[in-house]
Amino acid sequence: MEGWEARVRPHSRGCGMAQDTTVPTLDFKYWLDKAVEWGQATTLETQKDVCLHLPQLQEFLQQTYETLKHMNSIVAIQQFPLIGQLLGRLCWNPFVIGYDESQKTLMWCLCCLYSSEPQNPVELKANSWIRSLLCHLLSSSKWESNEAETSTFISALGYTSADYYCHLVENIVSSLVTELRGNQFNGLTVQGSVPASRVNAVSLFCLPLITLPDITPLLETLLLYHGGSSKEILSSQFLEAVNDAFLKKKISLSESAVLSLWLRHLPSLENATLHVLDQLVSIQMNSLEEVASVIKDSFLPQAASHPAIFRIVNEIFKNALLETDGTPEVMTIIQVFTQLFVQVLQNENKQHKFPLKAYFPHHYQPLVVALLRRPFELPATCWSQHLTHISNMVKALVEDTNISSSDLLEVWFLVACFGEWLDIAAEQLLKAAVEPDALLWLLAFYYCPQTKNLQRIQTMAEARAVYNRLIMLFNATTLSVRDLQATVNSITDTEQCYTQHLTTHLLTNFLLFSSGGHMIAQEFISHITETTDRSKEVRSLLIRTAYRINQNGEENQKTVKLVNELLQKLNV
């Protein structure tokens, strides 16, 4: 969700009705000329002209804000060089700031121009100028009037605007934070708590100021505040705006504040999860390190240490995977998220905060425990045995005659989330002396979970035929693309796409881990990607392999070099 919805609407109240022609959209020069002409509206003639244009001006300011909120401050000033002069003049026109919501919209626009991380003296000076204008707007007569929502707080604090004109924002924040925290003890509300209506109004008061660093302590205090009411006391507009600013990196919040935001406002958590998906799907993944960095930066893995958040995020990921027909990019994102979540979970478990069943309440717990084991926790010689154990448990669950299609889907998604073990299964089949049936069955289930038993038997037979052929070729010192293509042709006549996916997985590993495969890898990968639609699938397998080798500390520089070369070729 992109911030707030537009609030532009016709107005009939004010000093007069607009009568002249429509002004072009975002015509800054027109309005700056008007603002210079008006000054501070000290004559009757200029006052009449201001009143005549107020409805149009307010619509212009609203449109300006809707444009600015999607930009950073540098881009905004570059694109609209007159904006500072215009806003500065309008803020000192009492007729403008006294009309309907113009004052609030001016504050929103100013906050969009505020540099959260000023890089030079010019930006520092601009920030200081914006602060002074905000203080002026906050201390203007409208905020002192009874009809203004924030007047309750300013007057209740026992201040007048003159007392702290230069530091008004800081004073309000400090006082409100002290008041709210004074009614909390170890997270519990104590007697004499602030009325819910007042807390709600404070959250509304913060709306135009959310991106100001001075407001952050108040934002966090509000997010962590829990009154005695069973209903949400913070404004939904406030929660949406804070989440939007956080996702766009316009503000920084503590982990506890973000966790509280997502626990108390489900739409914000949904937006955060979809934001990460959109962000990663829209770019070409060059490495899983890059994917992991984006996901870590989103704070989702850390927040998922709370079971309620983990279950919701997992459900959103599952729906996204189903809606995209299991695209490799989405699957890879889910698997990296799961790995990062497991890392966080292992650290959290030292504190024994939540039992494992709280995260996976409907799954067979021994299977969950087995999947949660990270490969580096076991000797490589034990991987095939561990995978056989996982395969046997999954097979027992899915071949139960009483299993429903929804339960089957849940088992499949659980296994898919821990895709690192599936990649190792495909690798072990070719690199290690293993009994292949259990590992082949696990891969067959992953690629064709909804098939009936007879279909899975057929898939297993075809996969085993490919596997046997690859084993025969594995130690060949000379190998041609034609030899390997014959293996592909042995099953590509079938219309079962899931068998083709499984074969692509085995073939890619064959190319990476056999000496003969190394020699023809680039030629064969080019052949696959040019004659099929499997380029994304192959890219995903390659970047997962590179990431796994790096994470597990395997010393296989020849394979890493080949993977990088193949990825460069696919990126051309």
- The string of pLDDT tens digits covering residues 509-560 is 988 888 788 888 888 888 877 777 778 888 889 999 888 887 766 656 778 8
Q: pLDDT tens digits, residue range 446-479?
A: 988 876 667 777 778 888 888 888 888 887 777 8
What's the average model confidence in pLDDT over 440-446?
A: 92
Check whether 153 has a pLDDT greater than 70: no
- What is the sign, positive or negative, of the torsion defined by CA atoms of 291, 293, 294, 300? positive
Q: pLDDT tens digits, residue range 408-431?
A: 999 999 999 999 999 999 999 988
Would you say residue 252 lies in a domain?
A: no
Check whether 304 has a pLDDT greater than 90: yes
Q: What is the pLDDT of residue 369?
A: 95
Of these ranges, 68-72, 242-246, 247-251, 281-285, the one predicted with the greatest mean pLDDT is: 242-246
Q: What is the pLDDT of residue 260?
A: 95
Would you say residue 540 lies in a domain?
A: yes
The distance in angstroms from the start CA to the end CA of the chain is: 34
Torsion, Cα 544 546 548 550, to 10 degrees, reads -150
Would you say residue 103 lies in a domain?
A: yes
Q: What is the pLDDT of residue 547?
A: 86
Compute CA distances 472 → 170, 426, 441, 510, 514, whole Å. 74, 16, 20, 11, 11
Task: Return the H-helix or E-strand segment holding 516.
Answer: helix 515-531
CA distance 172 to 208: 14
pTM of the model: 0.76
Q: What is the pLDDT of residue 173?
A: 75
When pLDDT is cut at 50, 70 and 90, the band that residue 352 belongs to is: low
Would you say residue 17 lies in a domain?
A: no
Q: Could you tell me the two tokens for 297?
A: 């930066």
Q: pLDDT tens digits, residue range 161-207?
A: 444 444 556 666 777 788 787 755 444 444 346 788 888 888 887 88
**Residue 225 or residue 157, greater confidence:** 225
**Boundaries of domain holding 54:** 28-139
Check whether 259 has a pLDDT greater than 90: yes
CA distance 349 to 370: 16
Q: Please, are residues 425 and 439 in contact by the beta-carbon 8 Å criterion?
A: yes
Would you say residue 157 lies in a domain?
A: no
Q: Could you tell me the two tokens for 319?
A: 């729906």
Would you say residue 251 lies in a domain?
A: no
288 contacts: CB under 8 Å, gap ≥ 6: 332, 336, 543, 544, 546, 547
DSSP 235: -
Would you say residue 538 lies in a domain?
A: yes
Would you say residue 381 lies in a domain?
A: no
Q: pLDDT tens digits, residue range 132-147?
A: 788 778 766 444 443 3
When pLDDT is cut at 50, 70 and 90, the band that residue 265 belongs to is: very high
When pLDDT is cut at 50, 70 and 90, the band that residue 271 belongs to is: very high
Q: What is the pLDDT of residue 350?
A: 62
Task: Return the H-helix or E-strand segment holding 444.
Answer: helix 436-447
Check whether 240 has a pLDDT greater than 90: yes
Closest CA to 63 of 33, 22, 34, 92: 22
Q: Could you tell me the two tokens for 460?
A: 């297993």
Coil/strand/helix, residue 188: strand
Compute CA distances 283 → 151, 277, 279, 372, whole Å. 47, 10, 7, 29
Coil/strand/helix, residue 70: coil
How many CB atoms are located within 10 Å of the residue 40 CB?
A: 12
Q: Please, are residues 394 and 439 in contact by the beta-carbon 8 Å criterion?
A: no
Domain boundary among 111, 139, 167: 139
Q: Could you tell me the two tokens for 482?
A: 């034609």
When pLDDT is cut at 50, 70 and 90, the band that residue 442 belongs to is: very high
How many domains in the chain?
2
Compute CA distances 130 → 113, 250, 423, whole Å. 8, 16, 54
CA distance 517 to 525: 11
Q: What is the pLDDT of residue 439?
A: 95
When pLDDT is cut at 50, 70 and 90, the band that residue 572 belongs to is: low
Q: pLDDT tens digits, residue range 12-69?
A: 333 333 334 343 457 899 999 999 999 877 788 888 888 888 889 999 999 998 888 8
Q: What is the pLDDT of residue 149?
A: 45
Q: What is the pLDDT of residue 165?
A: 40
Domain boundary among 123, 139, 155: 139
Q: Which residue has the tokens 């403008």?
A: 96
CA distance 208 to 3: 12
CA distance 503 to 27: 60
How many CB atoms are located within 10 Å of the residue 357 CB?
A: 12
CA distance 278 to 229: 36
Residue 559 buriedness (CB in 10 A; 0-12 / 13-18 / 19+): middle
CA distance 1 to 93: 34
Q: What is the pLDDT of residue 336?
A: 95
Q: Which residue has the tokens 């299977």?
A: 367
Q: What is the pLDDT of residue 243?
A: 96
Backbone φ and ψ for 72, nearest 5 degrees, come out as: -90, 170
Domain boundary among 139, 174, 203: 139
Q: What is the pLDDT of residue 157?
A: 46
When pLDDT is cut at 50, 70 and 90, the band that residue 332 belongs to is: very high
Q: Which residue has the tokens 């009309």?
A: 99
Q: Please, are residues 251 and 242 in contact by the beta-carbon 8 Å criterion?
A: yes
